Amino acid sequence: MSLTVYGVPLSPFVRKVRLCLLEKGLEYQLETVMPFTPPEWYLQLNPLGRIPAFKDDDCTLADSSVICQYLEEAYAETPALYAEEARQRGRVRWLEKYADYELAPLTTFTIFRNRILKPSAGHPCNEEAVRAALEEKLPAHFDYLEAQLGQQEYFVGDELSMADIAITSQLINMAHGGEQVDARRWPALAAHYQRILVRPSVASLLPGEQRMNAKLQEMGKAATA
């Protein structure tokens, strides 16, 4: 078994795959591939050029959800992250997609991109877009997630699932962009986020990510000095 993840640590989708592997106790290596300008050979793994891609010996896959569901089925002896019962499994997949399709455009591609990535490349932050995401668009999503959690520790069932991992992965990028879930307005969601952050899998990745994020912030300051 030789598992390789291709991408960069600050991508929430790469993070999601890495956390899936860590929670399953599967060893892997991360090979850096930059988004937007991938090398030519990478297009053989993912012709769309997006990250992550994944290789398991001679099996290659792309898309974080596809990769994680493959790991669930191919390594069935590891801890389940998609639940055992069909209805719960459907809920996990729904919430994973909700995070990827509804949260990501705001937490990652608006807040994190404007606050961190654009300044590091010498481009101005669109703070108006950030404020709109925080004040006009994200609250409805956080209301929904708060209701889904209720009094539960996890989004689906009594154990960690890919729903928890996918949602937390997006909120981490929002935090890298300098914003947190308001614990007064969404106490269950904020508590869930803090609960997942201290899991060994997440805690093992965060220090490296925070160092990279700090370096990008320094680049942004230098570019505007």
CA atoms of 17 and 3, how far apart (whole Å) = 11
- Per-chain mean pLDDT for the chain: 96
On the CB side of 91, CA atoms within 13 Å amount to: 16
What is the pTM for the complete model shown?
0.96
Same domain, 71 and 90: no
Same domain, 56 and 114: no
Any domain includes 36: yes
Domain boundary among 23, 54, 75: 75
CA atoms of 111 and 167, how far apart (whole Å) = 15
Interval 17-21 mean pLDDT? 98
Question: Cβ(8)–Cβ(33) under 8 Å?
Answer: yes
Please say if the pLDDT value at position 74 is more than 70: yes
pLDDT in tens, 130-179: 999 999 999 999 999 999 999 999 999 999 999 999 999 999 999 999 99
Per the structure, how many domains does the chain have?
A: 2
Same domain, 59 and 134: no
pLDDT at 120: 93
Instruction: State the pLDDT confidence band at 221, using cuts at 50, 70 and 90.
Output: confident
Q: CATH number of the domain at 207, please.
A: 1.20.1050.10
Same domain, 91 and 43: no
Same domain, 16 and 105: no
Provide the domain limits for residue 103: 86-223
Question: Cβ(89)–Cβ(49) under 8 Å?
Answer: no
Domain boundary among 44, 75, 106: 75
Segment among 40-49, 185-194, 204-213 with least mean pLDDT: 40-49
Q: Which of 109, 194, 28, 172 is nearest to 17 (CA)?
A: 28
